[in-house]
Amino acid sequence: MSLGFHHQLDALTTTIGELCAHAGRAVQGATQALLQADVALAESVISEYDKIVRAAAHAERDALKLLALHAPVAGDLRTVVASLKNVTDACHMGSPALHISEIVRRRHPAHALPEELKGYFAEMGRIAVDLGNKAKDVVQSGDPCMAAQLRNDDEAMDHVHHQLSILLMEREWRHGVAAAVDVTLLGRYYERFAEHAVEIGRRVIFQVTGVTKYAS
């Protein structure tokens, strides 16, 4: 395969990594907006989302061009197809920030979160940012060991999410049904962010081992 092909593939890989980190920063902003009921910040995250979508569409066109112009085979083909799928996951990593910010906007000027639950969401936000940065490193390095480590962050996210679920199911929940609904959805958004990051990690592992597996 030509030098041009690998140069363009490297550029695509860099872009996809940046997309993951971008999605992480978006969740960081959304989390801050959530914790402080900062509607201006929420609005800014919402309007930023379009940039992620456009960057993803651009990356997808680049991947298609690589297939059309170079007709790669074997490992190169697998890498381009994995890139195409990573673009979709990276784009989906951008949606939770949008949905979290929409809840902030809907509840404004009230806080969507009961004060005593803020620590859980600060922690889920921190893990998400970390996952976004690690997914970037995984995509750009193609390192399957690093990719396997994404699973640890996902487990940390699941752990916080599970604690939240227990709180919601306790008889002493005293924040009302509306807050319970918001907390349920918010928790699910952070979890989905982690799922897409892990899916990217799994794909990097697949490229090395050839084992395919879907997330539920």
Question: Is residue 30 involved in binding a copy of itself (CB under 8 A)?
Answer: no
State the CB neighbour count (10 A cutoff) for residue 29: 21
Question: Given the complex with a copy of itself, which of 70 and 134 has the nearer CB atom?
Answer: 70
C-alpha distances out from residue 31 to 24, 128, 193, Å: 10, 10, 13
Per DSSP, helices labelled H in 71-113 are: 74-107
Question: Given the complex with a copy of itself, which of 36 and 163 has the nearer CB atom?
Answer: 163
Q: Residue with structure tokens 């890989």? A: 13
The least distance separating a copy of itself from the CB of residue 207, rounded to whole angstroms, comes to 12
Question: Is residue 138 involved in binding a copy of itself (CB under 8 A)?
Answer: no
Between residue 46 and residue 65, which ones bind a copy of itself under the rule CB under 8 A? 49, 53, 56-57, 60-61, 64
Question: Is residue 110 involved in binding a copy of itself (CB under 8 A)?
Answer: no
**Cα 109 from Cα 100, distance rounded (Å):** 15
**Cα 28 from Cα 48, distance rounded (Å):** 13
**Cα 133 from Cα 106, distance rounded (Å):** 29
On the question of a cis peptide bond just before residue 144, with omega within 30 degrees of 0, the verdict is no
| Cα dihedral sign, 27-149-55-210 | negative
Question: Is residue 166 involved in binding a copy of itself (CB under 8 A)?
Answer: no
Question: Given the complex with a copy of itself, which of 151 and 192 has the nearer CB atom?
Answer: 192
Indicate which single residue of 71, 110, 145, 208 sits in contact with a copy of itself (rule: CB under 8 A). Answer: 71
**Cα 128 from Cα 142, distance rounded (Å):** 20
Question: Is residue 122 involved in binding a copy of itself (CB under 8 A)?
Answer: no
Structure tokens at 81: 């197809």
Between residue 181 and residue 210, which ones bind a copy of itself under the rule CB under 8 A? 181, 184-185, 188
Contact (CB, 8 A) for 140 and 83? no
Indicate which single residue of 2, 3, 40, 74 sits in contact with a copy of itself (rule: CB under 8 A). Answer: 74
Kindly report the backbone phi and psi dihedral angles of residue 212, in degrees, each rounded to the nearest multiple of 5, phi listed first. -100, 145
Question: Is residue 152 involved in binding a copy of itself (CB under 8 A)?
Answer: no
Question: Given the complex with a copy of itself, which of 151 and 161 has the nearer CB atom?
Answer: 161
Question: Is residue 85 involved in binding a copy of itself (CB under 8 A)?
Answer: yes
The site for a copy of itself (CB under 8 A) is made up of: 49, 53, 56-57, 60-61, 64, 67-68, 71, 73-74, 77-78, 81, 84-85, 88, 91, 95, 98-99, 165, 168-169, 173, 177-178, 180-181, 184-185, 188, 212-214, 216
